[in-house]
């Protein structure tokens, strides 16, 4: 998925940041040779290399690319294999329910990806005669959630289309190889990256070439501690040359932009000088160069978005037969369609305790006495992209299932056993909530043989239990 980029007026780009025809040929040859020897064996690559059915091949790569969005390769492997065993074709996926899809996806996060895969499969079967689109533009146009990067990856890897790809790994490799020091989130810089990717992609083996440059960024040209000595593009890498020149105490000042000079030169001892325009918008400014970072000066790091803090109360309502109430989230938004425990957002209220009691009574039908005597379990923290979510977990035992209800913001509600909960479409965050409940029971199980606490010990234990008001006293004072 291609991230949104900042807009910028047309820029001036010097020849330093382009590839010559000879360089293009050498980059292709060296990168493919390196890839043939060093590539990781991954299940979707095996399908792309051996599956004769173009439709099945495209489907497998499509699934892998969607799973790999914002998720590590090591995590995706088992999910991909399980998915393909359950739904080996587009038709199989289209016939599944969204509930089943979310169950298999559970734990991968960003659940909208699973929903869009399912929607795409249904669309292919209903509107495209069961055929996956066969080029980048058609993939982007017809498949939900497929953007420029995903469409290019599927088209090149599965369909043999000679189109380049640009993701985080490719951005890093190209920024270092061509000494691109501009903010790559700016639209003009991003477009230049796509132009370079399309120019250097190998027309005979486009899929392998694109996987090779991504593999290089993932395993060699890494964000931190890159292994430049093992890089097949080392001799073409301007960031490496500059770093080496710095270490050898060779002056690099002449390469940087000076307002009154017509052009600047990158010095190197073994390669002819490369000239760039004095007003080039892609060059790294002298004041931005950090000699201690070397090649890690590229690409320029964008300012990180700060995580916002959110808190809510999660209540485990447990019936006499130890079933727990789960409610289904709305069809859109964060964690759409997933099952969770009743949740109460904590607003800046003067009395959070009373707010929780009121909502439990009015929205979930919990008796006032039960809501007031709920047991605090623990805080559970979960990170959602740019949200740091704190769940304050409580438990209410022996609820009468007949009287409990749920507010209209939820699609449905069900009483589930722990086993049913674990096999349903629930988020990792909710699994953490159940784990916190289990951990809270462990001391009781281990200390069954200990003597019963006396009145004084019970009094001290009671003092340790905080109310919600105490948890949020500091926050309310701000």
Which amino acids are annotated catalytic? 65
The tokens describing 180, both together, are 């691109």
* CA distance linking residue 311 with residue 344, whole number of Å: 9
> Could you write out the three-class secondary structure of 38-104?
HCCCCHHHHHHHHCCCHHHHHHHHHHHHHHHCCCCHHHHHHHHHHHHHHCCCHHHHHCCCHHHHHHH
Q: 166 Cβ partners below 8 Å, 6+ apart?
A: 2, 148, 149, 152, 174, 190, 193, 194, 197
Q: What is the phi/psi pair of residue 399, to 5°?
A: -75, 145
Q: How far is CA 381 from the centre of its chain?
A: 18
Q: How much is the CA Rg of the chain, to the nearest whole Å?
A: 28
How many Å from the N-terminal Cα to the C-terminal Cα in the chain?
A: 39
Q: How far is CA 382 from the centre of its chain?
A: 14
DSSP annotation of 204 reads S
The tokens describing 134, both together, are 């066969």
Strand ranges inside 200-336, DSSP E: 263-266, 274-277, 308-319, 324-328
* CA distance linking residue 52 with residue 93, whole number of Å: 20
Residue in 163, 161, 193 with CA at minimum distance from that of residue 177: 193
With tokens 């043939």, the residue in question is: 36
C-alpha torsion sign, points 106, 108, 112, 116: negative
């Amino acid at each position: 998925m291609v991230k949104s980029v900042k807009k910028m007026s047309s820029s001036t780009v010097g020849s330093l940041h382009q590839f010559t025809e000879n360089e293009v040929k050498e980059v292709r040859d060296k990168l493919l040779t390196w890839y043939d020897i060093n590539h990781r064996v991954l299940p979707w690559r095996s399908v792309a290399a051996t599956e004769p059915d173009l439709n099945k091949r495209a489907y497998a790569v499509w699934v892998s690319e969607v799973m790999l969005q914002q998720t590590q390769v090591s995590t995706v492997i088992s999910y991909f294999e399980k998915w393909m065993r359950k739904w080996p074709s587009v038709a199989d996926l289209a016939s599944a329910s969204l509930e089943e899809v979310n169950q298999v996806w559970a734990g991968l996060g960003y659940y909208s990806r699973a929903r869009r895969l399912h929607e795409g499969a249904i669309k292919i079967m209903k509107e495209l005669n069961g055929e996956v689109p066969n080029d980048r533009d058609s993939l982007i146009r017809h498949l939900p959630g497929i953007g420029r990067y995903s469409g290019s990856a599927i088209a090149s890897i599965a369909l043999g289309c000679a189109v380049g790809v640009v993701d985080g790994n490719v951005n890093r490799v190209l920024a270092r190889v061509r000494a691109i020091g501009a903010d790559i989130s700016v639209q003009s810089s991003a477009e230049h990256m796509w132009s370079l990717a399309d120019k250097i992609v190998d027309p005979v083996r486009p899929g392998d070439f694109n996987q090779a440059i991504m593999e290089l960024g993932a395993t060699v040209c890494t964000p931190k501690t890159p292994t430049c000595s093992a890089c097949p593009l080392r001799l073409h890498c301007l960031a490496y040359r500059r770093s080496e020149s710095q270490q050898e105490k060779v002056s690099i000042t002449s390469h940087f932009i000076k307002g009154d000079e017509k052009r600047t030169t990158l010095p190197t001892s073994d390669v002819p000088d490369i000239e760039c325009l004095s007003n080039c918008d892609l060059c790294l400014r002298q004041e931005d160069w950090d000699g201690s970072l070397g090649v890690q000066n590229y690409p320029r790091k964008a300012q990180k978005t700060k995580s916002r803090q959110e808190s809510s109360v999660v209540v485990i309502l447990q019936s006499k037969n130890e079933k727990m109430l789960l409610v289904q989230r709305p069809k859109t938004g964060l964690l759409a369609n997933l099952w969770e425990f009743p949740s109460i957002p904590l607003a800046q209220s003067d009395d959070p305790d009373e707010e929780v009691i009121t909502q439990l009574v009015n929205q979930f039908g919990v008796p006032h006495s039960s809501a007031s005597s709920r047991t605090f379990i623990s805080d559970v923290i979960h990170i959602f992209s740019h949200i740091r979510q704190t769940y304050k977990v409580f438990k209410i035992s022996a609820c009468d299932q007949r009287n409990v209800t749920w507010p209209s913001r939820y699609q449905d509600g069900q009483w589930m056993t722990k086993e049913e909960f674990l096999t349903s479409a629930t988020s990792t965050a909710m699994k953490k909530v159940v784990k916190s409940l289990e951990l809270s029971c462990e001391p009781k199980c281990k200390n069954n043989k200990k003597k019963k606490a006396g009145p004084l010990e019970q009094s001290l234990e009671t003092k340790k239990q905080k109310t919600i008001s105490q948890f949020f006293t500091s926050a309310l004072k701000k």
